[in-house]
Structure 1
Amino acid sequence: MLAIQNLSYYIGGRPLYEDASLHIKPKDKIGLIGLNGTGKSTLLKLINGDYTPDKGEIGKSNECTIGFLNQDLLSYQSEDSIVSVAMQAFGEAVETQRNLEKTLKKLETEYSDELVEKLTKLQEKFERLEGYTMQAKAEEILEGIGFNTEDLHRPLKEFSGGWRMRVMLAKLLLEKPSLLMLDEPTNHLDLPSIEWVENYLRGYEGAVIVVSHDRQFLNNTINKTVEVFNQQLTVYEGNYDFYLQEKELRSEIQQNAFENQQQKIKQTERFIEKFRAKATKARQVQSRVKALDRMDKIEEVVDTNAVVNFKFDFKQKSGRHVIQLEHVSKSYDKLNILTDTTAHIERGDKIALIGANGKGKSTLLRIIAGTEPIEGERQEGHNVNMGFYAQHQLEDLNVNNEILEELKQAGSKKTELELRQVLGCFLFTGDDVFKKIKVLSGGEKSRVALAKTLISEANFLLLDEPTNHLDFQSENILVQALQQYQGTFITVSHNRHFVSQVANKIWYIEDHQIKEYPGTYDEYSLWRSKIDAERKESSTSEQSKPEKQEKPKPAQKTGNSNEKLLINHQRELSKIEEQIDALEKEVALAEKEMADPAVFGNPDKLQEANTRYEKLKAQLQALNEQWELKAEEIDELENSSN
């Protein structure tokens, strides 16, 4: 469908790509990954035709259409309603609708057979173009990515950049190009919207290229990972988790090959040095010199997984009670955020505040910080020293300062050596610390702002979307830093992997109340799925009940029939247990197979073995659930018999 052949592209003489190649097939779901600054967004713009390669070519088939969601669309504005902007995807149908309306208007004053015939043809064309359903489709997608029904007819210009970006995403999804390119689509989406887009992309009929630093989003949507590294495009035939495993395996093989080659080079060099002066060995010496010159050098593996050992200094610990909110209410005009709600933050809490946009998460963060007026009471605990990180702090950085100078002015009283050690943890090493803030990328500015927050000696941190604009390596640094943090923090984030790594409590706003789940995000997610399934089942059950029908009286069972039913259930339970035992053995064999070097070293075999293993695990889980249900039925029968 699209082929990139020997692509080279330079910026200021520096190569972003050097003879890079990639083939994109019609059903590919590709995650494009790499460190910030390696050229991921640039590659999308090259494919889109916005930039021209310095060498090589990008060829696509005649029927290939491209849709590109990029950060430049944040500035797009229009007087049209958001549903009208989204419906621009149906260009021909919209134009036909305009002609229909004009023809109908004309018929009101000058009726003729010609106009009637024209109207009939336009109606047939409009129906063929699915024009009668285009507004419903547009509304469905807009509501799926977070818009309220009452907002659909508001002008686009009334919305912030992030919400305008959602409208442009909706328009692209409605266009259904054969190649859909999305540059950081989750940056402007809340959790429910991210999950909706995941489901949509999984069933998308065309090819997709996604640049994203949300690893769970990638795991849930892609079937191929392409890494931008060393000016090349390296393909991994699986999602992000598969990439991590395969990358580690390839790196191990490459490092072993590098070490073996280095040993051979040293042996050859020793031979050359030892026998260079001997005439009898001249031919062998020259042969080895030529062999060294011809040798394809294997590169040493560069470890991109930075390990952080960051020591947080507190002048003093906070008291046990950090923040107490009692009977808090908050509203903006007619918009109600919180109603008579109570919540407490204790020392050592690591809280993730999650949920849909518009529920009041950022407002709650400001209430906790004490910068938002409220009804009710906010009590700050003893010795609480607060640090607040939010995206607007990137704008507060002095663009004319060097990075090191910016941290010196943060007032932490740390020495230059200590500040350099902190910056080293955030990937600013050597002369990097003397870079001006104004030349930094968005991700680099985020790292500087985070470093400033973390050296503030605060024992209570408030972090608003701290992973936005961070690449995987920078996110990993933040995760490690927060895992080592001995204080208290609350973070607003839609990054599920980040939340699962750092939080020990989950907060969410529901029915204008602050609600808490006392556990990790993975535990919360399982609990929430179960609750939602029970609600759905209850709702379906209620809807399926026939109206105005008396509840039938339960049949009277004799003790004998009850006993027979119990025996049948016990037999069924025994059969399920036998199936579980057999399946557990199969799962164990599948695990052993994946650990086999012959399988683990072959990507195709490994993927096949992993697919079989996941299928067996799913079957085992289903059987375990059947066992639990059957055991509950037996327990109820036994209780009713007593």
Structure 2
Amino acid sequence: MGGKKKGPTTVDALGNTVSVAELRARAADEEARAAAKARREAKAAANADASSASRGDEDGGGGDAPVFASLEDQLRAMMIKRNDGAKLTGKERKMLAKAEKEGRLPSLEPPEDGGASRKGPPALSAPESWARALEAVSVHVRGGGGNDDDFNDANATDAVVDVSGMDVSVRGVRLFEDASFKIARGQKLALLGANGSGKSTLVRLIASGRIRARVHDVACVAQELESGERSALDALVSCDARVEELLREESALIDAMEAAENASENAWDDAKWREASVRLGELAEELERRDAYASEAKARRILAGLGFSDEQMSGPLSKLSGGWRMRAALAQALFVKPGLLLLDEPTNHLDLPATTWLASYLSGPECAKTSVLVVSHSADFVSSAKCGVLHLDHFAKKITSHKGDVWGFLNGADARYKASVKAYESQQKALRDMKSGKNPASSEQATKKLLKQTPGNRTELLERPREYAVSFAFPASTDDRPTIAVLDAGYTIPGRTEPMYENLRFSVHSKSRVALVGPNGCGKSTLLSLLTGRLEPTVGEVQRPRGLVIGRYDQHFDELLPLDDLNSRLSAAAHLVNTFGVKDQDARALLGRAGLESGAHVIPLRSLSGGQKSRVVFAALAATEANVLILDEPTNHLDIESVEALIDGLNRFDGGIVVSTHDARLVEGLDECEVWVCGEGKGGLRVLPENGGFGKYRDAVAAEVEARASRAAAAANERRRVAKGRGEKSRDR
């Protein structure tokens, strides 16, 4: 019997005899599978990078130290990091090695410039997450903001940023296409848009210099001030190194002159006295010219406005929490009066008094010449700071300037959507006409022809408009049982003697609407923890009936979501399925309504941004069917449109609500809401009058903070006056 010839044979890795052709076929199959796997992994990585690059838009960025002003500053920061024994990244090591080889390493010694120092924020390292995210970002700018020639153009418009034809992509995922925007000198603008639309990415591109500003002093609050022994006050005043040096010399010279005058014998001759007096006069003249004598007063005014006590101003930064070091860095950025100030969710680390003061300061004469670009979830803050609106349209990939204030922008959302639909339908009609006319064109020809007729540089036709719709719905339990009863309860923080609360007596029932307000540290979160049972009162009791279902939102997601190592691969959809027994498609529907993009439904929870995790928590609340919702700062990770949707959802909830917030819009938007001020009144709680009580409270808080800031500045001026008098007395000797 004749058989088919197998050809040459060989032995495979398992010792089996196989034909060479078969072994080659196996290798080809394995290579194809590996290539397919690589493509899948590359696609997943691109999606993850795109998500992480714009993830800052969802995280409520905020931060505090100014970003590198130049490559020299960046190299200097890396040299200091290396000298301190800190570990450098591979990219940092390569940059230092290249600069050293080319002889471009900067000096670490302070400049001896005879007083021509640059007044501005110190160059501190931006967060490493910024650098990693921006590595994935591709930017192309056809007009403005892109090169040194444009920066020095004498014919340029009177704007600190003027960009046209901007394309921004993240590993091939387009954020902006042919986008344009402008920031005029002294203009205050709020950057609004859906989470993930690119707000924080745009801020970081400007801060890093990838998009050039037409001013040399750009300050961006990016991370908290480094802990150390220097004080918050020193961190501000020392921003101008030359002024700090002059003040030290003046103080030392005055001390020396007074010591010589008080000596039992004449320690100095007349020539020495003349030399010292002349030098003291020179120092006073230069300090006056630099407005240095007002520096401490200005610094104390800003720090007091942001809530710092005298002790916190003068004590070491190492004694402050991360949140307070964030405030210190924000104060530093305000102190230097930059040409352009970039703020990413600045209110996330502020309480209501500090937020109120900051809005007033940004809109006041102190910042009249400073341009401000701010990302914020608080419509009330944006309005109070008198900011105009730049809207990032996530679907159209454009940046649009809107006339009027933020309230007009929010109220016009429906009209904008209808206008987009009309433009899209007009385009589609034009395409149909081209294809069905006397000389019908192919789809490709019609598209090219229509694009040529379209103003601008569009490379693609308009996509079908999609309305950005977030809907928070919180179905209540049908069991209308009594809820939480607080009976003569009190609480004292362990280790302290003074009670935070005492003799509290109230109930939270199905019709309760309560907003807790007050400065940070006044006990808002503590009271919520007493209501939920996470803390027990030190005296009295808090009764929660059996079967009571509490829906809880907390700023610390690790307490609400399974983020431990055992659940490292658990996704948002799987979490809802496991916890509430819903079907996968129902879990995805809940997540979608809460504003979590579909691609993030199956990503491990641990890999989601803070903003994305907040959406998962809201989706879980929708599945809880609670009797009462207890929410701690629920707006921090939301965009402005989502805050409005949250207010609407809470007003439709048929159960009790207790919410702690610094967002005035949330307080004023809740129907029939009582406002309780924590840390005031009998027992630690003060209930504000229903009609106009919150507005009067805000006005009183603003007046109190401004008065405290003015007192701090006045005290500094008095100290300066006394010191100046000492100098004049010494010169007159």
Fold shared, TM-score > 0.5 on shorter chain: yes
**Distance in structure 1 (CA, Å) of the matches to 2:378 and 2:698:** 21
Aligned residue identity for 1:235: S
Q: What is residue 176 of structure 1 aligned with on the other side?
A: 337
| 1:32 to partner: Cα distance | 0.8
Secondary structure at the residue paired with 1:27? coil
**Distance in structure 2 (CA, Å) of the matches to 1:318 and 1:388:** 18
> Which residue of 298, 304, 320 maps to 1:143?
304
Secondary structure at the residue paired with 1:228? strand
**Distance in structure 1 (CA, Å) of the matches to 2:388 and 2:704:** 36
> Which residue of 666, 680, 687 maps to 1:516?
687
Question: Is 2:256 the partner of 1:88?
Answer: no
Secondary structure at the residue paired with 1:60? coil
Q: What is residue 304 of structure 1 aligned with on the other side?
A: 468
| 1:318 to partner: Cα distance | 2.6
Q: What residue ranges of structure 2 are gaps of 5+ in the alignment?
A: 1-158, 261-266, 452-460, 706-733
Given that 1:33 and 1:40 are in contact with CA atoms closer than 8 Å, whether structure 2 keeps it comes out as yes
> Which residue of 423, 426, 432 maps to 1:257?
423
**Distance in structure 2 (CA, Å) of the matches to 1:86 and 1:335:** 34
Q: What is residue 392 of structure 1 aligned with on the other side?
A: 556
> Which residue of 354, 357, 361 maps to 1:193?
354
Secondary structure at the residue paired with 2:535? coil
> Which residue of 291, 294, 298 maps to 2:449?
294
> Which residue of 588, 594, 617 maps to 1:420?
588
**Distance in structure 1 (CA, Å) of the matches to 2:224 and 2:474:** 38
Q: What is residue 557 of structure 1 aligned with on the other side?
A: none
> Which residue of 597, 612, 616 maps to 1:444?
612
* Superimposed CA distance per residue, residues 7-36 of structure 1 (whole angstroms, 9 cap, x where no aligned partner): 333322223333332222112111111122
Given that 1:329 and 1:340 are in contact with CA atoms closer than 8 Å, whether structure 2 keeps it comes out as no
Secondary structure at the residue paired with 1:4? strand
The 5 Å alignment of 1:325-336 reads 325-326=487-488, 328-331=490-493, 333=496, 336=499
Q: What is residue 406 of structure 2 aligned with on the other side?
A: 240
**Distance in structure 2 (CA, Å) of the matches to 1:228 and 1:83:** 37
User: CA 1:164 to 1:494, structure 2 compared with 1: closer, same or farther past 3 Å?
Assistant: same
Q: Quick check: 415-424 or 28-37, which moved more? A: 415-424
Q: What is residue 43 of structure 2 aligned with on the other side?
A: none
Q: What is residue 728 of structure 2 aligned with on the other side?
A: none
Given that 1:329 and 1:338 are in contact with CA atoms closer than 8 Å, whether structure 2 keeps it comes out as yes
| 1:404 to partner: Cα distance | 1.2
| 1:389 to partner: Cα distance | 1.9
**Distance in structure 2 (CA, Å) of the matches to 1:454 and 1:169:** 36
| 1:340 to partner: Cα distance | 3.4
**Distance in structure 1 (CA, Å) of the matches to 2:357 and 2:703:** 20
**Distance in structure 2 (CA, Å) of the matches to 1:66 and 1:173:** 11
Count of aligned residue pairs for this structure pair: 511
User: CA 1:185 to 1:421, structure 2 compared with 1: closer, same or farther past 3 Å?
Assistant: same
Q: What is residue 188 of structure 2 aligned with on the other side?
A: 29
> Which residue of 3, 6, 14 maps to 2:173?
14
**Distance in structure 1 (CA, Å) of the matches to 2:224 and 2:637:** 15
| 1:293 to partner: Cα distance | 4.3
**Distance in structure 1 (CA, Å) of the matches to 2:604 and 2:328:** 35
Q: Quick check: 220-229 or 30-39, which moved more? A: 220-229
Q: What is residue 484 of structure 2 aligned with on the other side?
A: 322
Q: What is residue 231 of structure 1 aligned with on the other side?
A: 397
| 1:92 to partner: Cα distance | 3.0
> Which residue of 320, 328, 333 maps to 1:159?
320
> Which residue of 114, 125, 131 maps to 2:275?
114
**Distance in structure 1 (CA, Å) of the matches to 2:657 and 2:411:** 32
> Which residue of 367, 379, 386 maps to 1:222?
386
**Distance in structure 2 (CA, Å) of the matches to 1:129 and 1:189:** 31
Secondary structure at the residue paired with 1:227? strand
Given that 2:610 and 2:637 are in contact with CA atoms closer than 8 Å, whether structure 1 keeps it comes out as yes
Q: What is residue 378 of structure 1 aligned with on the other side?
A: 541
**Distance in structure 2 (CA, Å) of the matches to 1:289 and 1:421:** 37
| 1:201 to partner: Cα distance | 0.9
Q: What is residue 286 of structure 2 aligned with on the other side?
A: 125
**Distance in structure 1 (CA, Å) of the matches to 2:416 and 2:350:** 34
TM-score (norm 2): 0.64
Q: Which has a greater percent of helix? A: 1
The 5 Å alignment of 1:275-286 reads 284-285=439-440
Which structure carries more relative contact order (alpha carbon 8 Å, separation 6+)?
A: 2
Question: Is 2:638 the partner of 1:470?
Answer: yes
User: CA 1:437 to 1:5, structure 2 compared with 1: closer, same or farther past 3 Å?
Assistant: same
| 1:465 to partner: Cα distance | 0.7
| 1:68 to partner: Cα distance | 1.2
Q: What is residue 104 of structure 2 aligned with on the other side?
A: none
User: CA 1:94 to 1:316, structure 2 compared with 1: closer, same or farther past 3 Å?
Assistant: same
Given that 1:226 and 1:236 are in contact with CA atoms closer than 8 Å, whether structure 2 keeps it comes out as yes
| 1:335 to partner: Cα distance | 5.3
Q: What is residue 107 of structure 2 aligned with on the other side?
A: none
Q: What is residue 605 of structure 1 aligned with on the other side?
A: none
Question: Is 2:207 the partner of 1:52?
Answer: no
| 1:495 to partner: Cα distance | 1.3
**Distance in structure 2 (CA, Å) of the matches to 1:380 and 1:454:** 25
Secondary structure at the residue paired with 1:448? helix
Given that 2:576 and 2:582 are in contact with CA atoms closer than 8 Å, whether structure 1 keeps it comes out as no
Q: What is residue 588 of structure 1 aligned with on the other side?
A: none
Aligned residue identity for 1:176: K
Given that 1:404 and 1:434 are in contact with CA atoms closer than 8 Å, whether structure 2 keeps it comes out as yes
* Superimposed CA distance per residue, residues 104-146 of structure 1 (whole angstroms, 9 cap, x where no aligned partner): 4555477423333222211332233333332222222111111
Q: What is residue 630 of structure 1 aligned with on the other side?
A: none
**Distance in structure 1 (CA, Å) of the matches to 2:179 and 2:444:** 31
User: CA 1:287 to 1:454, structure 2 compared with 1: closer, same or farther past 3 Å?
Assistant: closer
> Which residue of 193, 197, 200 maps to 1:38?
197
**Distance in structure 2 (CA, Å) of the matches to 1:424 and 1:7:** 30
**Distance in structure 1 (CA, Å) of the matches to 2:598 and 2:308:** 47
Q: What is residue 248 of structure 2 aligned with on the other side?
A: 98
Given that 1:425 and 1:477 are in contact with CA atoms closer than 8 Å, whether structure 2 keeps it comes out as no
Q: What is residue 540 of structure 1 aligned with on the other side?
A: none
Aligned residue identity for 1:52: R
The 5 Å alignment of 1:569-608 reads none
Question: Is 2:687 the partner of 1:525?
Answer: no
Question: Is 2:499 the partner of 1:499?
Answer: no
Q: What is residue 602 of structure 1 aligned with on the other side?
A: none
| 1:374 to partner: Cα distance | 3.1
Given that 2:590 and 2:622 are in contact with CA atoms closer than 8 Å, whether structure 1 keeps it comes out as no
Secondary structure at the residue paired with 2:428? helix
User: CA 1:133 to 1:373, structure 2 compared with 1: closer, same or farther past 3 Å?
Assistant: farther
**Distance in structure 2 (CA, Å) of the matches to 1:368 and 1:286:** 69
Given that 2:474 and 2:621 are in contact with CA atoms closer than 8 Å, whether structure 1 keeps it comes out as no
**Distance in structure 2 (CA, Å) of the matches to 1:213 and 1:19:** 26
* Superimposed CA distance per residue, residues 281-306 of structure 1 (whole angstroms, 9 cap, x where no aligned partner): 6xx33599965641244443221133
> Which residue of 48, 69, 79 maps to 2:229?
79
**Distance in structure 1 (CA, Å) of the matches to 2:665 and 2:699:** 20
Given that 1:96 and 1:122 are in contact with CA atoms closer than 8 Å, whether structure 2 keeps it comes out as yes
Q: What is residue 571 of structure 2 aligned with on the other side?
A: 402
Percent pairwise identity: 28
User: CA 1:176 to 1:351, structure 2 compared with 1: closer, same or farther past 3 Å?
Assistant: same
**Distance in structure 1 (CA, Å) of the matches to 2:474 and 2:538:** 39
**Distance in structure 1 (CA, Å) of the matches to 2:169 and 2:385:** 31
